[in-house]
Amino acid sequence: MRMQVGRVAAAVAVLGAVIGGCGGPDQAGSAVIIGADAVPLTRVQSQLDVALSKTDQIARITAQGGTTADLSRSIVTREVMHDLLQRRAAADRIVVTDAQIDAELAGSGGVDAIVDGSLYDHATLRQRVRDDLIAAELAKRSVAGLAVTVDLVAATSRADAEAKAQTLQHGGPAADALFADPRVAERGTTVQAATNPNEAGSVLFGVPVGGVVAFQPSPQESTWIVFKVTDRSTNAPSDPAAVNNMSQAQLTTIGERLLQPDAEKLGVRVNPRYGVWDPIQLRVVAEGQQTGMVLPPVAAPAPAPGTATVG
């Protein structure tokens, strides 16, 4: 049975594990470092204290299996995304005004009602709304012409997936051999963001040409998916109606996924007490909860000394 490309979109956020432990990134007192920017432990703790003071919401989360560790990792994740979004907003000249934030909050029931029903205080809520609006605008500027082409291979275990990922990364006859059986592999599958908004928010759209991903769509299944991005277009023709029909939530998710290369370039170093950064889920997860691996494109070999180059 041929694989369905939609399964590539199944990498979803997984919460779990424990808070605690010692050590951390190079800068003492940091919860996470993005590039050269450090998020202080005190900032995360302050937000956690606010969340824990919302006893009704905490009781509901606890009843659903959530923990303090989950909240802490979510806070650190939001700090990472905030940093990346601020950088991209400055680079791309995306401006979100206070009036836009006010309108968004008013349309969602009003700031006081939202604060009462959430884990945020007023300042954190406004920051979250600003970040979401930046992400949505980033998606609007990119999604219409965005398309990726991938080669996909199924794997039966983590070890099998990692081995196939290494093979795909380096290419050549060994990689070609992975596509001998069309029941478990397919080449040249193109996915357009405008008509596949859920896939556009997945790791499928966060990898550069030549990059390879191996991940498990669902922990309840034994199947793993391995894919290599072979082409990426930013001017593919699309139906304007498809873009207009995207929800704000879909646009926000797509905009955040477009930050994946930024996170890779800058580097995200998480204090071990919270866990590790997972580029597939685009969030902080507990050590051992990563859903797969991302391999960068293989760099072209440097010319031998004395070899002339053209160009």
The vertex-192 CA angle with 168 and 157, nearest 5°, equals: 35
Per-residue confidence (pLDDT) for residue 17, from 0 to 100? 27
Q: What is the pLDDT of residue 299?
A: 75
The residue type found at 26 is D
Q: Single out the residue of 76, 96, 75 nearest to residue 86, CA to CA.
A: 96
Quote the pLDDT of residue 209. Answer: 96
Cα–Cα distance for residue pair 199/230, rounded to 1 Å: 17
Q: What is the DSSP string of 144-211?
A: GG-EEEEEEEEESSHHHHHHHHHHHHH-SHHHHHTTS-TTTEEEEEEEETTT-HHHHTSGGGSS-TT-
Q: Would you state the pLDDT for residue 14?
A: 27
At 34, give phi and psi (nearest 5°).
-115, 110
What does the alpha-carbon distance between residue 88 and residue 1 come to, in Å, rounded to a whole number? 41
- As averages over each run of 10 residues, the pLDDT of the chain (311 residues) reads 37 28 58 96 96 94 93 98 98 97 95 93 96 97 95 96 97 96 96 95 96 90 94 90 91 97 96 95 94 88 52 39
Residues 6+ apart with CB under 8 A from 41: 29, 30, 31, 271
Residue 24: its pLDDT value, please?
41
pLDDT at 305: 58
Which candidate, 206, 187, 93, 186, places its Cα nearest to that of 146?
A: 206
